Structure 1
Amino acid sequence: MHQIEFKDLVIFIRIAETGNFHDAAELTFLSQPALSRRMQKLESLLGAQLFERTTRKTWLTSVGREFLPKARRMVEEFEMSILGIKDMASQQKGKVVIACIPTAAFYFLPSVINVFNERYPGIRIQILDESANQGLESVIRGDADFGINMAIAQHPEVVFTPLLDDPFVVCLRKDHPLCELDEVSWADMESYKLISVGRASGNRILLDKSLARDQVKLNSFYEVQHLSTSLGLVEMGLGISIVPKLAMPLSSASALTFRPLKGQKIDRSIGLVKRSSTSVSPAADLFINILLEHWKAVDLT
């Protein structure tokens, strides 16, 4: 049985990136007929068509879209085996793709990215700031090398490694009457309009479970899709919100502040999400190692 050749994987990736056989042939220093023959051979080995073609356009089939991230990982792993881990630091020109929930991106990533860029300046970083469900799907599909997500976004195809517990707090304007309290109870909030995120949000699911458990009914007056929008409405004086602490602005100049919840605490577990069936790329593995070394240095208190 014939084996897939490294060159064929590179050609496949170039066609997918350029969207046509002509440009891909130039980039891989092949004639267009030779490139077409190689793709036919690859499709034959895989037993599936990777591209749809017209005289003007080339696009990936569903099988091709699924195979693309796998091909990229295989190429990167092959290059790593040739260069060696030390050579990679100065020569690698790859990319690490991270699917990260927006509220955790600022907390986890900047200090790690700084260290990573110093050690491996040739490796680019792409951050997919997505919801918990979207980020989970990106990791499962292979669109992201790994994710930083909530424990609620677990799945048989991924492994979750917890990093920290992020408590929910009451978000208030600094001139709000509840700011006089050290902690805010459910009863304290009953007379105020609550700004909530949509019911599909992982944060909303956690909050609703807690409210149902404690048999609490708050005045959920506004519903938005993003935590950043809820913060904006609180800042405008339209109500209060219950949000993860990581979502709160760090600047002391902000008009917003928070108070801890009194009594029963709510928190969400934030951690690393990786595919269970395949290993991450060597570049992503380097990033993860630095992440695990450095994230504890940032204070959440």
Structure 2
Amino acid sequence: MARAGDSIPAVNLKLLHTFMLVGESRSFRTAADRAHRSGSAVSSQIRKLEEQLGLPLFHRTTRQVTLTREGEQLLQCVRRALGEVESGLLAIQEAADIQRGRIALACAPTIAGAYLGRVLAAFERRYPGIQVSVRELTAAALFESVRKREVDLGISVATDSPEFRFEPLLSDELVALVPRALLPDLRKTISLKALAAMPLLVLEQGTALRTIVEQALGAQGLQLTTRFQFMHSQTLISMATAGLGAAILPSTALPAPLDPAVQRLRIVRPTLVRHMAIVTLPGHALSPAATRLVEMFRKILAVHS
């Protein structure tokens, strides 16, 4: 039996964890189920702990198990101690992940063109040990990539799909890039109806931007008619500059300054806004490395948007 002045018994964490399970559940059977061990193995561990400490930790009867006064005191200490150990291990794992992590990212082309270069450059300087692979995908392909777990996260337009979790990142107004040959008078806005009467330049099917435009036109009883469909916003800008039609684009995709051959107009009646988000699967927690990348995105967006 331990006496005052004796050295502290070398009690291992496994015994303390088993004791905490029994102490919290007040049941050897429940503790055994939670530990995935047999009831006799749990009882044996508790007896061993009591022998090492030299005092009983539980009052046992045929109907119930209760803690002794010393058992209550030990339970509080063990909870604190194991909580500290768990926090320490998580911190170490996070540090290791940040030093040697890998991230697979899928990104909408317009966001990639506007921000991704600055984000990746800053991220690489801050976390040189993390390897980031990037796929530039349209919305339909991006959602499929997230669904199949081919990437850790995506950056795309938020939808109402319950299949995905959307964490807001950026709200981006859509604007019209109109050739001065089509609309020579200077103005700041254009209605969606007036815009629809012009030859329109839009992105191809499967892009989130195309879906937003088609839905907005449909709500106004208008139809999208276009001879040209493109994959990248930069191509739309070039075609509008050449005078082939009016392009509908996210404001973040437009260069500054604009070519004198075109003017940028806000779309009104109605205004069109896309809401960009971090796309993951419900219940899927981002790794510490991926979380740091999202933080870097938010930091860069706050400065440049």
Q: TM-score range by the shorter chain?
A: 0.5 to 0.7
Aligned partner (choices 136, 139, 144) of residue 143 of structure 2: 136
Aligned partner (choices 247, 250, 258) of residue 264 of structure 2: 258
Residue 158 of structure 2 is matched in structure 1 by 151
CA offsets per residue over residues 91-138 of structure 1, 9 Å max, x none?
42x322211101012334334323322221121222211001111111
Contact 1:166–1:270 (8 Å) recurs in 2? yes
What is the DSSP-based 3-state SS (H/G/I as helix, E as strand, rest coil) of the residue aligned with 1:180?
Answer: coil
C-alpha separation in 1, matches of 2:278 and 2:198: 36
C-alpha separation in 2, matches of 1:246 and 1:179: 24
Residue 118 (str. 1) matches residue 132 (str. 2):
no
Residue 85 (str. 1) matches residue 94 (str. 2):
yes
Residue 183 of structure 2 is matched in structure 1 by 177
Q: How far is the alpha carbon of 1:259 from its aligned partner?
A: 0.7
Contact 2:173–2:272 (8 Å) recurs in 1? yes
Q: How far is the alpha carbon of 1:209 from its aligned partner?
A: 1.5
What is the DSSP-based 3-state SS (H/G/I as helix, E as strand, rest coil) of the residue aligned with 1:210?
Answer: helix
Residue 281 of structure 1 is matched in structure 2 by 287
- Partner amino acid, structure 1, of 2:170: L
What is the DSSP-based 3-state SS (H/G/I as helix, E as strand, rest coil) of the residue aligned with 1:261?
Answer: strand
Q: How far is the alpha carbon of 1:255 from its aligned partner?
A: 5.4
C-alpha separation in 2, matches of 1:272 and 1:208: 23
Larger Rg: 2
Q: How far is the alpha carbon of 1:270 from its aligned partner?
A: 0.6
What is the DSSP-based 3-state SS (H/G/I as helix, E as strand, rest coil) of the residue aligned with 1:106?
Answer: helix
TM-score by length of 1: 0.62
Q: How far is the alpha carbon of 1:179 from its aligned partner?
A: 5.8
TM-score by length of 2: 0.62
- Partner amino acid, structure 2, of 1:85: E
Aligned partner (choices 217, 223, 227) of residue 229 of structure 2: 223
- Cα distance change of structure 1 residues 140 and 183 upon mapping to structure 2, 3 Å threshold: same
- Cα distance change of structure 1 residues 239 and 182 upon mapping to structure 2, 3 Å threshold: same
Where does the alignment leave 5 or more consecutive residues of structure 1 unmatched?
1-79
Q: How far is the alpha carbon of 1:225 from its aligned partner?
A: 4.1
Residue 109 (str. 1) matches residue 116 (str. 2):
yes
CA offsets per residue over residues 147-173 of structure 1, 9 Å max, x none?
111013x54342101122211111123
- Partner amino acid, structure 2, of 1:135: L
CA offsets per residue over residues 36-88 of structure 1, 9 Å max, x none?
xxxxxxxxxxxxxxxxxxxxxxxxxxxxxxxxxxxxxxxxxxxx969643455
Q: How far is the alpha carbon of 1:286 from its aligned partner?
A: 2.0
Residue 245 (str. 1) matches residue 254 (str. 2):
no
Indicate the percent of aligned positions where both proteins have the same amino acid: 24
Residue 194 (str. 1) matches residue 203 (str. 2):
no
- Cα distance change of structure 1 residues 258 and 120 upon mapping to structure 2, 3 Å threshold: same
Residue 97 of structure 1 is matched in structure 2 by 104
Contact 1:139–1:273 (8 Å) recurs in 2? yes
Aligned partner (choices 220, 224, 232) of residue 214 of structure 1: 220
Residue 164 of structure 1 is matched in structure 2 by 170
Q: How far is the alpha carbon of 1:192 from its aligned partner?
A: 2.7
Where does the alignment leave 5 or more consecutive residues of structure 2 unmatched?
1-88
Residue 292 (str. 1) matches residue 298 (str. 2):
yes
When the two chains are superposed, the root-mean-square deviation of aligned CA atoms in Å is: 2.8
Residue correspondences, number: 217
Contact 2:105–2:153 (8 Å) recurs in 1? yes
- Partner amino acid, structure 2, of 1:284: A
C-alpha separation in 2, matches of 1:228 and 1:268: 18
Range 220-229 or range 123-132, more displaced: 220-229
Q: How far is the alpha carbon of 1:175 from its aligned partner?
A: 5.6
C-alpha separation in 1, matches of 2:115 and 2:138: 16
Contact 2:154–2:280 (8 Å) recurs in 1? yes
